[in-house]
Amino acid sequence: MIELKNVTRRFGDAVAVDRINLTVETGEVCVLVGSSGCGKSTTLRMINQLLPHSEGQILVDGNDVTAMNPEQLRLNMGYVIQGTGLFPHWTVARNIAMVPQLLKWPRERIDERVHELLTLLDLDQATHANKYPQQLSGGQAQRVGVARALAANPNILLMDEPFGALDAITRENLQLEMLRIQSQLRKTTVFVTHDIDEALRLATRIAVMDQGRIIQHDTPENILRRPASVFVENLVGKQDRGLKLMSLHTVRDLMEAPPQPREPEPGADGLKEDDSLRVALSIMLWQNWSQVPVFNADGQETGTITRDRIIQEGA
Amino acid sequence: MRVWLPPVMLTVLLCALSAGMPALEPLFEWMQPDKQNVIYERESFLFLLQNHLMLVVISALVGTVAAVAGGIFATRPAGRDFLPLVSQIASIGQTFPPVAVLALAVPVLGFGEAPILVALILYGLLPILRNTLAGLEGVDATVRQAALGMGMSPFQVLLQVELPLAGRVILAGIRTSVTINIATAAIGSTIGARTLGDPVIAGLVNGNTAYVLQGAILIGMLALTVDSLFEAAERVWDRRFLPQTAG
């Protein structure tokens, strides 16, 4: 758990972060969102003390960060930044092994862990482990960045616009990847972005920041339904709020499910349980379907969903 | 191993030339028929070569340690304020002519090797310091930020990240400094240091071009040899730390 109590950061006379209070519960993803210069990155970097705070108190699992050795504090926090910050003179494997090496793990345990992480992040041991960061694509490099952050199994993950420099398709892939990994590992995560869609997709709770203050701290659904101010309303976008709400829920939430899944008819078209309602509606409108079967990950038919129900209850 | 071939061959050639200079007597006699002595014999060329090299190596070692330490200090958060001062001191060392340093140092340190060592160290600082600063400043800020953020101590960042990444540039600075100093060391002969400048000075005093030529050829050869040694070292460095850019 991370607690910020009345935390202020000044740069000279300028106030970058103004008396903010924020609690990030264990296992949740807290996304700090706002335009550039709003203090979100500063807030993140105060948590691992790359920037000392001017006033207030920051507690990590109940301990005041100023009382801890900064290296010790950071070794227990995975850190992912935009542009990866991978070490260009080290191979992918050695980059990932960085923190375990600092913690002096035995050789075999490190090798095993690197292999595990390469697999977790869908990187191939044979083709990627001995490459250098410059030889990777942007998406691959950021996967390695995430793997490096997870290497010593930290409780906390700090991510500073990690996917900001990637193209839209790669970014979406990595976001999905992150959701998958987070559902397995349940790290306490603080994630900084200026992209509201990314925030809505990844967050358990979103903290909207403006001019060094937190304007609203709430679940994605509440941010969309009850924006606290005009600023938040503009940030989330007034017009497509309905569609954004739909993208928060999956087909599984609104489908009619028979008691037993059954084998589908061969060649049947349909949706997946994990598709968002927004995707479902889009497909159904395009194909002009009013009702469509839903399949689970194993390809079994687990239910059906109707267009009317999505329109009535989706947003 | 092939990278070491040119420096080894040049070293062999240099030693052979130093040891076998008398064998070239007919050539020098043909150039200067009016002189009785055409081969410099007051001191063996091998001894002069050795002493010359020693002066350069000692000054390079001291200069490197001082300049790299200064460069590291000036790029740390605590030393940032001294950055302009440190570069100024090095610039003064470079602009001050070595001959003037000798003139000033002789009354204090006496004749011999000491004044020329001082002159060489001062003269060699700037290229190394410049490159140390450039190399360290050139390390990608996100890399340093990531290293710190992941839990490395500032000292570990310096040793494991900054110096390996800046080392190639620092090495190039040492190369420049040493090459310049191989030529500069020869003026030490004017104040009694034994260097390959001896035959050059003697030749100028006696109007014996053959002497001048012998000293100059060996100094030039030494510079070539040491330069190719650095060339090889840089290639090895690339292979060790920047393998993806090495062809």
pLDDT tens per residue, range B140-195: 999 999 999 999 999 999 999 999 999 999 999 999 999 999 999 999 998 888 99
- Whether residue B55 is predicted with pLDDT greater than 90 in this model: the reply is yes
Of all residues in chain B, what percent carry a pLDDT higher than 70?
Answer: 97
What is the overall mean pLDDT for chain B? 89
Q: Are residues A150 and A273 in the same domain?
A: no
Q: Are residues A13 and A156 in the same domain?
A: yes
Token pair in block for residue A206? 């979103």
Residue B150 to residue A149, Cβ atoms within 8 A:
yes
Domain span including residue A297: 247-314
Q: What is the DSSP letter of B158?
A: I
pLDDT band at A256 (very low <50, low <70, confident <90, very high): confident
Token pair in block for residue B104? 């000033």
Q: What pLDDT is stored for residue B94 in this prediction?
A: 78
Whole-prediction pTM value? 0.83
Given A83, A99, A132, which is nearest B151 (Cβ)? A99
Residue B244 to residue A135, Cβ atoms within 8 A:
yes
CA B219 to chain centre: 12
Q: What pLDDT is stored for residue B247 in this prediction?
A: 37
Instruction: For A8-62, write each residue's pLDDT tens digit.
Output: 999 989 999 999 999 999 999 999 999 888 999 999 999 999 999 999 999 999 9
Q: Domain map of chain B by residue range?
A: 2-241
- Whether residue B93 is predicted with pLDDT greater than 80 in this model: the reply is no
In A, minimum Cα distance to B168 occurs at A89
Q: Are residues A24 and A66 in the same domain?
A: yes
In A, minimum Cα distance to B238 occurs at A89
- Mean local confidence (pLDDT), A270-287: 87
Q: Are residues A148 and A223 in the same domain?
A: yes
Residue A85 to residue B161, Cβ atoms within 8 A:
no
Residue B143 to residue A75, Cβ atoms within 8 A:
no
Q: Are residues A68 and A136 in the same domain?
A: yes
Q: Are residues A222 and A257 in the same domain?
A: no
- Whether residue A314 is predicted with pLDDT greater than 80 in this model: the reply is no
**What is the identity of the amino acid at A300?**
Q
Given B143, B241, B245, which is nearest A85 (Cβ)? B143
Distance separating alpha carbons of residues A22 and A9, to the nearest angstrom: 14
Q: What pLDDT is stored for residue B245 in this prediction?
A: 54
H/E run at residue A17: strand A14-24
Note whether B133 contacts A: Cβ–Cβ < 8 A.
no
- Mean local confidence (pLDDT), A233-258: 86
Residue B150 to residue A89, Cβ atoms within 8 A:
no
In A, minimum Cα distance to B142 occurs at A85
Partners of residue A82 in chain B, C-beta under 8 Å: 142
Query: Which residues are CB-contacts of B203 (< 8 A; sequence separation ≥ 6)?
Result: B40, B209, B210, B211, B212, B213, B214, B215
What is the overall mean pLDDT for chain A? 90
Q: Report yes or no: A50 and B145 within 8 Å, Cβ to Cβ.
A: yes
Token pair in block for residue B116? 């020329």
Mutate to test the interface with A, among B142, B145, B148, B150 (most CBs of A within 10 A): B150
**Helices and strands in chain A, H and E counts:** 15, 13
Q: What pLDDT is stored for residue B243 in this prediction?
A: 62
Q: Are residues A92 and A223 in the same domain?
A: yes
Lowest mean pLDDT among A114-123, A265-274, B136-145: A265-274
**What is the identity of the amino acid at B228?**
S
Q: Of A168-177, B58-67, B113-122, which one has max mean pLDDT?
A: B58-67
CATH code for the domain in which residue A280 is found: 3.90.1280.20
Distance separating alpha carbons of residues B101 and B179, to the nearest angstrom: 19
Pick from A208, A238, A268: which residue ends a domain?
A238
Best CA proximity match to B86, nearest among B126, B59, B122: B126
Partners of residue B164 in chain A, C-beta under 8 Å: 89
Q: Report yes or no: B202 and B42 within 8 Å, Cβ to Cβ.
A: yes
Q: Yes or no: is domain B2-241 CATH 1.10.3720.10?
A: yes
Q: Are residues A41 and A182 in the same domain?
A: yes
Q: Are residues A206 and A305 in the same domain?
A: no
CATH code for the domain in which residue A200 is found: 3.40.50.300
Higher-confidence residue: A275 or B61? B61
Q: Are residues A136 and A67 in the same domain?
A: yes
Q: Are residues A132 and A253 in the same domain?
A: no
Q: What pLDDT is stored for residue A63 in this prediction?
A: 92
Given A45, A71, A134, which is nearest B151 (Cβ)? A71
Lowest mean pLDDT among A13-17, A210-214, A268-272: A268-272
- Exposure of A246 by Cβ count < 10 A (0-12 exposed, 13-18 middle, 19+ buried)? buried
Higher-confidence residue: A206 or A260? A206
* Phi–psi pair at A248, nearest 5 degrees: -80, -15
- Mean local confidence (pLDDT), A121-127: 88
Distance separating alpha carbons of residues A217 and A23, to the nearest angstrom: 10
Residue B165 to residue A86, Cβ atoms within 8 A:
no
Given B151, B241, B244, which is nearest A102 (Cβ)? B151
Q: Report yes or no: A51 and A45 within 8 Å, Cβ to Cβ.
A: yes
Q: Are residues A80 and A209 in the same domain?
A: yes
- Mean local confidence (pLDDT), B53-69: 95
Note whether A95 contacts B: Cβ–Cβ < 8 A.
no
Best CA proximity match to A3, nearest among A179, A188, A185: A188
Partners of residue B153 in chain A, C-beta under 8 Å: 71
Q: How many domains does chain A have?
A: 2
Distance separating alpha carbons of residues B54 and A111, to the nearest angstrom: 47
Instruction: For A62-118, write each residue's pLDDT tens digit.
Output: 999 999 999 999 999 999 998 888 999 999 999 999 999 999 999 999 999 999 999
Q: What pLDDT is stored for residue B246 in this prediction?
A: 43
